[in-house]
Structure 1
Amino acid sequence: MALPKKKSRSITLESIKYTWLVSPNDGYNVFVAQQADCQGSKIEVYFETDVNAYWVAFPQVSQLNLQLIKPREAALIILQAQQLGWEPEKGGKPLSYDWAGERLTPRKTIS
């Protein structure tokens, strides 16, 4: 299933177009990306942020983690995911990663 066009952004890397979005959650957000015009696999990248708590703590925001994903970070995530084995044109379950300090690591699954 493709990402919704209304809420997603696009980025082109090495002549390949990808769509991505960030979905907010409590205490962390999830970056989701897939190759555009392709029903291949997605990546889900979890990162901690207090962005959604910003309005609750306003104006004391100096201790908050206001991590955002901008196009630069989206490009880094997509390229690192490919280096870690993500093949966006192939189908399958989404691959999950954690993002911290501009580094992508495979997400530990709880059995």
Structure 2
Amino acid sequence: MVTQPKTPSPKRPINDAWEKFRLMVIPDKASAVQIAEMQKAFYAGAAIHRSLLINGVSDEDEPTEADMALMERIDAELRESGLSFDIEMAQRLTSSLPPRS
């Protein structure tokens, strides 16, 4: 049975991405414990990424060379781990996010 994602909420973009991720990769027969543990890991990844960005980027209006280098290192590490999502999946996970102002 395929469940449809909940209606997107512009106030909860990580939850929206989680719901889409859950539907795309977690089997319907997964236990409640497996789903809960996956959700914890998903949110932990989001929290770590936020922390890396908050603590690692400059306060400048435009990205600096150091900011871009940090993003390149994060991208390279994800690619090396074999866990990075392809562009299509990333776009599908974030398609409900409101446009940046």
The question of a shared fold, defined as TM-score above 0.5 by the shorter chain, is answered with no
Whose strand proportion is higher, 1 or 2? 1
Which one has the bigger helix percentage? 2
If the length of structure 1 is used for normalisation, what is the TM-score?
A: 0.28
Normalising by structure 2, we get a TM-score of: 0.29
Task: Tell me which of the two structures has the higher relative contact order, counting C-alpha pairs closer than 8 angstroms and 6 or more residues apart.
Answer: 2
